[in-house]
Amino acid sequence: MRADVTLADLPLRPELVGEEPYGAPQLDVPVCLNVNENPYPPSDAIRREMADAILAASARIDRYPDREASELRRRLAAYLGYGLTMTNVWAANGSNEVMTHVLGAFGGPGRRCLTFTPTYSMYPEYARNTHTEYVTAARHDDYTLDAGLVLSAIDTQRADVVLITTPNNPTGTSTPLDVIETVLEGTDAIVVVDEAYQEFSTTPDASALGLLPRFGNLIVSRTMSKAFALAGGRVGYLAAAPAIVDACRIVRLPYHLSAQTQAIAEVALAHAPAMLANVDLLRAARDELLVRLPELGYEVVPSDANFVLFGRFTDRHLAWQRLLDAGVLVRETGPAGYLRVSAGTPEEMAAFYAAVEQIGHP
């Protein structure tokens, strides 16, 4: 084959032909409100401790890291509470990788993964990459779910793995715990409750973690990328029955979590209250978006996460571009006519409101 081979010349898997790598634009813009991060970095003291932990780990960087990430999983279990232990917890490079492990273990050829749209745009990619068929059912018009809708979709779509995202991305809609409980009482499919944004909820304790002692098919997925302010560290995790963790251990690549990743995340968990200290501020910024955007003439979708869908624009791409021209990056995603903005610092929010007032209503 010629050295200047192009993608079109290569024997790519047919389902990958024409596909683009996933990802929001990473642009160098003063105000980035596009990927739902926590914009408050750790203190200098915590960063120093992270650096020291990496220095200590590098003393034996010639060796592979702890393949089981035992200390990290122990600390994650302690952070979650609910009597969970390391055997209930699995961790990987972001919940994106955790979910790939789940579908690697429980999806695959001939299996179906069901989600409730509109929802997180990476799910179809996890399914594609694990050769799992991706099927969907629409949420109600207000983006809520009830147990009847979920159970009937599981039945008609013959789902093997069900993903319920609460609060949902990109709508911010929470699914009440009693709905999840009724779903679990009605199915033996693997039910993944993606709680990536749970810490931002007005009811953070209404977590599906409390249902784990009763349901062996329940997986609760969490991440350190959002409330925990560790998106750059790349750590996601799940809590489930030990047998589910064992299934993930079969499909993971050996030594998938680097020594540096484990070291940084362990320090972050030792300082959980400090890492989470600004969640209340972000909740308040979210609540302010829900009040101020309607005052500026926009529709908003009620949100329980750290972002808000707002619109509706006739030409949302033009609105997105005008905000970008004003130095504010938001996300062009979700139902037609809407943009999604993440809650930011007071300075970022001030810049966002000033930009929104400039762009009009394209």
* 196 interacts with ligand PMP by CB under 6 A: yes
Considering only residues 277 to 296 of the shown chain, the ones binding ligand PMP according to CB under 6 A are none
From 34, 171, 174, 223, residue interacting with ligand PMP (rule: CB under 6 A): 223
145 binds ligand PMP (CB under 6 A): no
Distance CA 152, CA 166 (A): 19
Binding to ligand PMP by residue 172, rule CB under 6 A? no
The reply to whether 94 sits near ligand PMP by the rule CB under 6 A is: yes
Q: Phi, psi at residue 54, to the nearest 5°?
A: -70, -40
- Min separation Cβ 194 and ligand PMP, Å: 5
Residue of the chain from 37, 133, 194, 266 that contacts ligand PMP (CB under 6 A): 194
Residue from 39, 25, 29 nearest 324 by CA? 29
Rounded Cα distance, 157 and 264, in Å = 41
Q: Choose between 71 and 125: whose C-beta lies nearer to ligand PMP.
A: 125
Burial class (CB in 10 A: 0-12, 13-18, 19+), 7: exposed
Tell me the window of 7-15, 93-101, 103-111, 144-152 that interacts with ligand PMP (CB under 6 A): 93-101
Shortest Å distance, C-beta 237 to ligand PMP: 9
Query: Half-sphere exposure of 299 toward its Cβ, with a 13 Å CA cutoff?
Result: 11
**CB of 200 closer than 8 Å to CB of 194:** no
Residue 41 contacts by C-beta under 8 Å, 6 or more apart in sequence? 47, 229
Least separation in angstroms between residue 267's CB and ligand PMP is 18
Buried b (16+ CB within 10 A) or exposed e, 212-250: beebebbbbbbbbbbbbbbbebbbbbbbbbeebbebbee
Q: Which two tokens stand for residue 242?
A: 């030990």
DSSP states of 236-256 as a string? EEEEE-HHHHHHHHHHSPTT-
Name the one range near ligand PMP by CB under 6 A: 45-53, 61-69, 94-102, 346-354: 94-102
- Using CB under 6 A, which of the segments 42-50, 70-78, 92-100, 109-117 binds ligand PMP? 92-100
Contacting ligand PMP (CB under 6 A), which of 88, 130, 132, 165?
165
Per CB under 6 A, the list member of 34, 175, 225, 342 interacting with ligand PMP is: 225
Residues 115-134 that bind ligand PMP (CB under 6 A): 120
Residues lying near ligand PMP in the complex (CB under 6 A): 36, 94-96, 120, 165, 169, 194, 196, 223, 225, 231, 236
